[in-house]
Structure 1
């Protein structure tokens, strides 16, 4: 059973890391032009908004999160190496950033017919003052996934020999992504000195989207805290049982 769960965790993590990789690449294409990044976004939407892509992506996200909750609940000791703490922090912080993005794009598209493109996304982010959030959005997930694969496969000789190249990709791709997004932002600002209002569909349903965002964040935090508290209570009960057993003996 443990082997099956470990393979499920790795498989779902690879799917999510692939999604992040393509997203980072899309942003990096903005270094060359807004149009090129737009073509990349169109291909990504066709992939992930298709029925198989949706099932694969959100099924992997649900599975990976469920296994993370199981790990949090089942952990007996929290004395961990620094690398593991960084991986845990990155993994748990990603949904806090990503929920806002998913609600404003995927949910808005599925529920209210919003058609995302980079110009609309940039205008919305500038209007709301959340450009920095967009730059920080994908980095935690990228770090979490990369460290997870390194912890799992880093002991193999071919992987260890490729370590310098892997570090270059780990650090370089988010930097290129940030540079691409900043270039797209400057391009939009030059094209439109007076920014248009955000998409009317987003404005019309802003209250509903904010409610979705609040509810999803509340659910996420409640599940993580609940798993942690339940695990600590279980540990305390087990320790008390062991002490009572030793005293009886």
Structure 2
């Protein structure tokens, strides 16, 4: 055996430790999500119960606005945030209606609002329509955090994604987010890099949320390492980095429990 060579068992132990470290980071930054069309009260109750794990709590649960008050009630004694979605999933332009939806969600106890940018309007060159929406919802949020969903798989081009992220941050977004999870495609490295470039240029601390198709430990690792390389290791904390997923938690728990972290992923957001 050559000096410094690692025994297979030791290599396996190191790999498991590395998996567990990534899983712990991802768990603390996870927005555990239930936005299926079939969602009901029982599913929200189950989601909130899953938010508290033997390895720590997730950052937030993300539910439909109709269930924000229920989630707040169920998590009243916990540090887990309640997030909900507005203008979701189509990214329309009815500013007054979306602002009212936001105010109601905040009244119902939502700590965080995930707003879908009017991405079609933005892609058509009507940036003013997108800016008007973000500004109105920022005002309606009050003290609640605002995450703006760019729907990057529809914008596609990194330059366009960067400009959309710049607009959202200029209008007061606390996070920019990749996807709704409701259209084909989802988070990609290229989209995340374009958004991170906007975050680096912001004149205040702002964050990134990756969502749409993040289902395995390997997926989580990709985005954690990409964000850490761009922004530094201290960026990987719930205040500035989130992963939106429903199917990721099982893989994270497997890694933290020391079982098969590469088991078949759950389907979902």
TM range (shorter): under 0.3
TM-score, normalised relative to structure 2:
0.25
More strand by share: 2
**Higher relative contact order by CA 8 Å / sep ≥ 6: 1 or 2?**
1
Bigger radius of gyration, 1 or 2? 1
Question: Relative to total residues, which structure has the larger helix share, 1 or 2?
Answer: 1
